[in-house]
Chains A and B, each alone.
Chain A
């Protein structure tokens, strides 16, 4: 007796009111904002972030806009290092490629440096990302051969290679100490780096960076919970085991570097539109270390952590710069010791060390601790 069972139609699955843990379909189970609390929380946060454009002064908006651009880069680094577990010290190199691609495409033709006059954002931003991604894909095969420390050293080499090339290639970069104008942010004919009827230059740039950050962050979050994200995590946890369960290592490592570099390239293109000026000396090891610090302090393998880390590092600067007024023996003068720049460098190191020892999950881990404390109320687990 082998007859097939008759088909019985299933009902629509819907959320049951007031039961956040009662999932009646996989869509609900996998939803990014799976509880009403998360939905409202995120909505409030996003609205508040946009409201800041009119609430804050231009000087603060400039800092925050820079932080958002850096956050895009940090998310990129977190994708390759946090999610896929491939240590990369070469992030500054990809940021530089993005910055120069964007600057060259949007720069005025016929000037001292290369320029093609394509000032529209939607042209040069993807181009910057793609150029960096191409470089990332070229480097990636190294990662399939090397692991851990060796990969770190190789990617470190990229930074020095890049630094040399950018310093020597005057036509593109303007040369060390001289530099060139950065990409021109123009959207549908509206210059966003100039005061206009829609708002001041800072307000416009702030809104642009925030919007792009949200787009990039949501994309990364979705990537992380997809098949690709799971493959990344498998490779991070043990690449041999991942290969055994059928994850093609080469393909996913190349993909990780490619996507990560795309993020870095876009971040590079955007970052310098704020100051309007790029100097080839800025793409050094310190920039790479800054990104690593953002990831480690924010939280490895988390998108929200990357954003938190970028904000933290960016806001650290204005704080340390105001130190001389408060602490008399710290000087704002670079020729004296101790000066604010030294304090800053020491702080980066100190923070990385402290976080790695006391809260390896970073700011995100701190948040999780606080959240779990209240979530478990009135018990402890």
Chain B
């Protein structure tokens, strides 16, 4: 596949940004909060920055196919570095800000990154401590000088302004060098490595090519694969999930470059509720944890409201529940009755409630990246936030299925996107996809690639699913997570876990029972909500562990478990449960960078607890 003539350049994310910078240089592309003010970045400024970074990379000797790693929270510089790298035909590698030094070393060494953009002293320290393991790493560019400037004199270090100055000098000397490099781009160029979260083994780098991403952009953004009508310059999005994940990359970088969606960067994950209120985005993507957390916050704040407000809000939330039920039946389309009920509730409750949680203007909300309890989705549908569960993975550039507005089936991940092939293996029940978004392979790992990408071009997703009504796909579980009890029964643990996690008091639930007589669960309480619950009951506690060991808390959770058990068959019921003695953490290796539970690690770490539940 060659482009042939020089005039026909391959469209990339970067050329799209360049087009926008030319057609609307003064329109707002990005916003980031600085000293309490949302500073705006125009398309013109955005493109200038990208060009400077690309020039600097050329000056630093980045050749086509070289890797550039970015280790930072979401901020404009992430995008400048990403697009600058793609402009120089390099490969962007994203690192999770929470990655501990050992994982940083693995990712930098595995990808062979030549240059690292590190956000602050914390990330620079991680990189410096593992510098010996990463022979390819030649430069570390830091964004925040605090604690670094004037204290560190390592030669590999370089500040962001220095990088831009280098780019400016290179641009003056070699005008048009970046344009020429961009014109050479091929559709088969790998433009990014997205490392899998690695619930089982070490992370693997998913190679996405220019063509992969272009296909995803055409399907998801321009084709309106998610939103209807398709996103436009008038839409606002909040960027707060790690950009190294394919979902956030799609919703931040690709939606922005392809459709001109104004991206607003949250200050940090802790300030998301406040930032949501300020920005009031129109397009909002969240992982289940976020949606559960917002729901839990609503519960707490309703409970602690004054009596009149509490009674009224409870009433309207019950109405919302009923509206949600109807919407679930109709696939998201209002009936006359729900419309009337909603209109009344809008005046008295929903408008204010949605404003408070920052979803007043959301016209499209999506949940993905992990399974979510249908009850959580129903809550949002009921209060008028159009919620859609979507499905995709790094390996198919996030293109697989989505619930389309007006055709929502709760509990499913939706319909396959138009123009792609998706089938469910008859023998194993595994979901397979085939389309131009299927990745080019795992980085330096042909064996793993061969495991998931067969000769016919089908991608084996590793998810077990089934058709619902012939149009929608329901995912049972990850293939390797399926539990086979001693009685020989196949059980999907995630369904039970999500039902448990739908309660605002339960943060983590890990169902165990492979080769065992019955199921047991390790449960981690949500310290905020349970703490508030204990406070209202005048129950004193000191630590997380102390709180979870209270007999009253055990009773509370037992009730939740009983409630969930009623909805499942006898073999699928959780017979016993134990509390996790600590909050699970990425640093301790219990969660992946995307906050997914590493099932095997947890089961092993808390083996005594599990054994204890079976011993009795």
Binding site for B on A (CB under 8 A): 1-6, 8-13, 16, 18-19, 21-26, 29, 376-381
Contact = CB atoms under 8 A, between A and B. Distances in A.
Interface stretch (B38-46, B479-487, B557-565): B38-46
B164 A11 contact: no
B451 to A, nearest CB: 46
A22 B49 CA distance: 24
Given A22-B38, A23-B37, A379 B302 contact: yes
A372 to B, nearest CB: 12
B586 interface: no
A3 B166 contact: yes
B52 A6 contact: yes
B313 interface: yes
B421 to A, nearest CB: 41
Contacts of A379: 301-302, 304-305, 309, 313, 356
B278 interface: yes
Interface string B136-165: 000000000000000000000010111011
A24 B161 contact: no
A380 B278 contact: no
Contacts of A2: 162
Pick the 9 closest A-B CB pairs, nearest first.
A5-B161, A3-B165, A11-B42, A6-B168, A380-B305, A378-B313, A21-B278, A379-B301, A377-B352
A22 B26 contact: no
A11 B158 contact: no
B261 to A, nearest CB: 13
15 contacts: A1-B166, A5-B165, A6-B52, A6-B167, A10-B42, A11-B26, A11-B41, A21-B277, A22-B280, A23-B37, A23-B38, A24-B31, A24-B37, A379-B313, A381-B301
B361 interface: yes
Given A18-B280, A378-B313, 16 more contacts: A2-B162, A3-B166, A3-B168, A5-B161, A5-B165, A10-B39, A10-B45, A21-B278, A22-B38, A22-B279, A24-B37, A24-B38, A26-B37, A378-B302, A380-B306, A381-B304
B178 interface: no
B48 A8 contact: yes
A25 B37 contact: yes
B312 interface: yes
SS of A interface (majority): loop
A154 to B, nearest CB: 42
A378 B165 contact: no
A337 B279 CA distance: 64
B52 A11 contact: no
A12 B26 contact: yes
B470 interface: no
A29 B34 CA distance: 13
Nearest to B36: A29
B304 A380 contact: yes
Contacts of B28: 11
B309 A378 contact: yes
Contacts of A6: 52, 164-165, 167-168
A11 B40 contact: yes
A381 B303 CA distance: 12
B349 interface: yes
A26 B35 CA distance: 10
Interface in B295-312: 301-302, 304-306, 309, 312
B169 interface: yes
A18 B363 CA distance: 14
Interface string B10-46: 0000000000000000101001000011111110110
A8 B45 contact: yes
Interface residues of B, number: 44
Which of A10, A12, A19, A376 is most buried by chain B, counting CB atoms within 10 A of its CB? A19
Interface in B301-329: 301-302, 304-306, 309, 312-313, 316
Nearest to A13: B40
Contacts of A16: 236
A22 B238 CA distance: 12
B266 to A, nearest CB: 13
Given A3-B166, A22-B279, A378 B352 contact: yes
A23 B45 CA distance: 20
Nearest to B43: A11
A10 B309 contact: no
A29 B309 CA distance: 31
Contacts of B49: 8
Given A6-B52, A22-B278, A24-B40, A11 B45 contact: yes
Contacts of B37: 23-26, 29
A25 B40 CA distance: 9
B353 interface: yes
Contacts of B26: 11-12
Contact of B312 (A21, A376, A378): A378
A1 B40 CA distance: 29
Given A378-B309, A381-B301, A10 B40 contact: yes
A378 B236 contact: no
Contact of A9 (B45, B305, B313, B353): B45
A28 to B, nearest CB: 8
A1 B279 CA distance: 39
A351 B279 CA distance: 44
Contacts of A9: 44-45
Contacts of A376: 356
Interface string B168-179: 110000000000
Contacts of B302: 378-379
A29 to B, nearest CB: 6
Given A11-B40, A379-B302, A4 B165 contact: yes
Which of A24, A25, A379, A381 is most buried by chain B, counting CB atoms within 10 A of its CB? A379
B157 to A, nearest CB: 10
B167 to A, nearest CB: 8
B152 to A, nearest CB: 14
Nearest to A378: B313
Contact of A5 (B45, B164, B236): B164
Nearest to A375: B352
A4 B161 contact: yes
Nearest to B31: A24
A3 B165 CA distance: 6
B21 to A, nearest CB: 12
Nearest to A11: B42
Contacts of B48: 8
A2 B153 CA distance: 13
A19 B280 contact: yes
Contacts of B280: 18-19, 22
Contacts of B278: 19, 21-22
Contacts of B356: 376, 378-379
Contact of A3 (B45, B162, B309, B313): B162
Contacts of A18: 280, 361
A6 B168 CA distance: 7
A6 B166 CA distance: 9
B309 A380 contact: yes
Nearest to A374: B352
Nearest to B352: A377
A166 to B, nearest CB: 52
A8 B160 CA distance: 14
Contacts of A23: 36-38
B163 to A, nearest CB: 9
A5 B38 CA distance: 22
Which of A4, A10, A13, A377 is most buried by chain B, counting CB atoms within 10 A of its CB? A377
B158 A1 contact: yes
B312 A24 contact: no
A251 B431 CA distance: 77
B382 to A, nearest CB: 14
Contacts of B41: 11
B241 to A, nearest CB: 20
Contacts of B39: 10, 13, 24
A8 B306 CA distance: 51
Nearest to A21: B278
Contacts of A26: 37
